[in-house]
Structure 1
């Protein structure tokens, strides 16, 4: 497991490094805000495609929001909003699942696989995501 923002923040605060600012020694931790101030959830907008039983592909829009610090993953496809409870976020993939839904995202390409499980079948959807545009201020 790599260093976390908390560990980095503690290192800076405990370090003996001090900077000179205006002729006054200022502890380094006063010059830098905690990393948590910069961490925020990331939303991806995705287009999912599945092969229909009639041989025709169907597409739908969905969004995925993940938070690396809180280790959370939320899938939102219109009326279907799901908080995935079993989440793994690494530098390579983002994965999460519940009893009837699993999601896998490749972080290098933002390709996504969504599988929905029912008693008699599994529905697989594939797609591509992109980071959501920042909201206008």
Structure 2
């Protein structure tokens, strides 16, 4: 069973079931805008249009374009200048939540952290070595 929520676009109430983030009326409006954008992009001369150009010609919100690219409704393989902002730095990316530079930086930091942890563990194991002496038996 869903929960009652306010639509973030129009403020109206709707039954949220986890599928759509907006009310049915706004969902239909988004679908109509998607059709306008898709018809624009299907034309050969518009396939390489940038996000700014699409917004200018169709009047659709930038955030909706990003949402459709994230959900693979508009595929960057077909429309090469489309993407969405990286969650960390804001650069345009076409897959995942992070751009390649941020993902590489994160991987490098994780590798450094793992190397430091392994070094600390090796030092701790080295310090735990027990040495027996035979002083009292002489």
TM-score by length of 2: 0.24
Task: Pick the structure with greater CA Rg.
Answer: 2
Please state which structure has a larger fraction of its residues in strand.
1
Please state which structure has a larger fraction of its residues in helix.
2
TM-score by length of 1: 0.24
